[in-house]
Amino acid sequence: MKKTYLLEDLCCANCAAAIERGVAKIEGVKSASVSFLTTKLVVEAEEEGYDEVFKQIQKVVKKTEPDVTIKEI
């Protein structure tokens, strides 16, 4: 399953890269990419257990950039 999220208030390219690396390490995530220019996070993960994966994504984002809000597109 592939999902796209908008990362509102993403402030820098370094934060985008750190979020991408952190999300890619989450168990169950097949791939992750963050575009600083579009402020989009695209995640490909297994459908089973995705709720737990999304909780982990939120933790990574908040740890890296506390002011970012995640919205599903």
Spans of all domains in the chain: 2-72
Report residue 22's pLDDT band, with 50, 70 and 90 as the boundaries: very high
CATH 3.30.70.100 fits 2-72, yes or no: yes
pTM: 0.93
- Write out the DSSP string of 4-66: EEEEET---HHHHHHHHHHHHTSTTEEEEEEETTTTEEEEEE-STTHHHHHHHHHHHHHHH-T
pLDDT > 90: percent of the chain: 97
Nearest to 50 by CA among 21, 73, 16, 23: 23
Nearest to 5 by CA among 51, 57, 64: 57
Report residue 16's pLDDT band, with 50, 70 and 90 as the boundaries: very high
